[in-house]
Structure 1
Amino acid sequence: MRRSAVVIAVVEVTVAPLIPPLMPPEQGEGNGRRPGVLRRPPLPLPDLPIPRAGSSVYGLAAIDVSGRIADRMIVRALGWGGGTRLHIYESAGLIVVRLDPQGVFTLTGQGHLHLPAAVRKWCGLKPGDRLLLAADPDGGVLVVHPPAALDAVVAQIHAAALGGEQHE
């Protein structure tokens, strides 16, 4: 019976300290400290998120085979109800919905938004597509973001966050 020797290599891994190391005093430090006393630099502070400035309300909903979108929270935030007259149009790949007393479109009795076939076609929408709904209650407008528009925005944000790296 033959025995083999097993060799295990240990690799040193350096981990950055959580508390910065003591630093020697700077030359000519005249801040009232005792000369030669070691000190620690201040701890790094994290970047804090920017607080929200707007009052937008967001939702995610699927479009059905008839072109209807159902999201009660969005409709409620806008103060719209069944029969509310609307103006619906496409702009820069997004669908804009505004309150319009002369509008030819209305919310259904159940409060569903029915997107016209022409708008669905212009934006390449198919039944089952999930849409980002962004309501601005103060402005009385709803912007519907189709998947193609979301793909473009997300790709741009990810490129900035990842430093131009491409991930698939």
Structure 2
Amino acid sequence: MSGPRPGGDDDPRAAQHSGPGRAGDRGDHPRAAPPRPPRPPLPDLPHPPTRPDQAEAHLDVGRLDPSGRISARALLHLLGWPPGHRIQFDITAGVITATSDPAGRHTIGATGLLATPAPIRQLCHLTAGDLVVLLAQPGRDLLLIHPARTVARLLAGQFAAGNAG
């Protein structure tokens, strides 16, 4: 069996199907592609808000320790209240409010715990071991502390009135 090897250098079909850089290349190179037109500029996008949304709210549940402290590190971090940050406590409609106040009499503890003052706890009938629902609103620089029994009563009332969901 002698004769040209299929696809070999001596096969006449190889020159027909070869491209640049292959056997049978005679230096013919494809033309350079025409330059692309410049891309249009990107559209201007709205700037992200520099402040948190006023309505943004974050929830957590805590338990008062015997000294009236509540572990609320995640919410305090969201509010930007580091240890030593000065705050003011008030009571509005049975809800404890904590707000930033450079002249506030109370501070966030060194370990990031929120110490609720004894008079505030007494007025809201809170004792050691009680559960509280915490609601942080970073846009308003506000932390609300609800006794869990109050929240449970409100939710039960909504459900009984057919307003659940």
Q: TM-score normalized by structure 2?
A: 0.63
After superposition, give the CA deviation of every residue in 1:23-46 in whole Å (9 maximum; x if it has no partner): xxxxxxxxxxxxxxxxxxxxxxxx
> Cα RMSD between the aligned structures?
1.7
Which residue pairs with 1:80 in the alignment? 81
> What's the CA shift for 1:162?
7.4
Which residue pairs with 1:65 in the alignment? 66
Matched AA of 2:63: A
Which residue pairs with 1:118 in the alignment? 119
Matched AA of 1:65: P
After TM superposition, the runs of 4+ consecutive aligned structure 1 residues lying more than 2 A away are 160-163
**Is it true that 1:158 corresponds to 2:159 in the alignment?**
yes
The structure-2 alpha-carbon separation of the partners of 1:97 and 1:162, relative to structure 1 and needing over 3 Å to count, comes to closer
Q: Give, in whole Å, the separation in 1 of the partners of 2:150 and 2:91.
A: 12
Q: Give, in whole Å, the separation in 1 of the partners of 2:150 and 2:85.
A: 27
Q: Give, in whole Å, the separation in 2 of the partners of 1:152 and 1:98.
A: 25
SS of the equivalent of 2:145 reads: strand
Which residue pairs with 2:91 in the alignment? 90
Which residue pairs with 1:48 in the alignment? none
Which residue pairs with 2:13 in the alignment? none
Structure possessing the higher radius of gyration over alpha carbons? 2
Q: Give, in whole Å, the separation in 1 of the partners of 2:93 and 2:63.
A: 21
| Amino-acid identity (%) | 32
Matched AA of 1:140: D
Tell me, yes or no, if the aligned pair for 2:134 and 2:145 is still in contact at 8 Å: yes
Q: Give, in whole Å, the separation in 2 of the partners of 1:115 and 1:144.
A: 10
Q: TM-score normalized by structure 1?
A: 0.62
SS of the equivalent of 2:120 reads: helix
> What's the CA shift for 1:126?
1.2
Tell me, yes or no, if the aligned pair for 1:94 and 1:149 is still in contact at 8 Å: no
SS of the equivalent of 2:121 reads: helix
Alignment size in residue pairs: 111
Gaps of 5+ in 1: 1-52, 164-168
SS of the equivalent of 1:55 reads: coil
Q: Give, in whole Å, the separation in 2 of the partners of 1:114 and 1:125.
A: 13
Q: Give, in whole Å, the separation in 2 of the partners of 1:95 and 1:54.
A: 19
SS of the equivalent of 1:161 reads: coil
Gaps of 5+ in 2: 1-53
Tell me, yes or no, if the aligned pair for 1:97 and 1:142 is still in contact at 8 Å: yes
Matched AA of 2:85: T
Q: Give, in whole Å, the separation in 1 of the partners of 2:138 and 2:84.
A: 18
**Is it true that 1:128 corresponds to 2:124 in the alignment?**
no
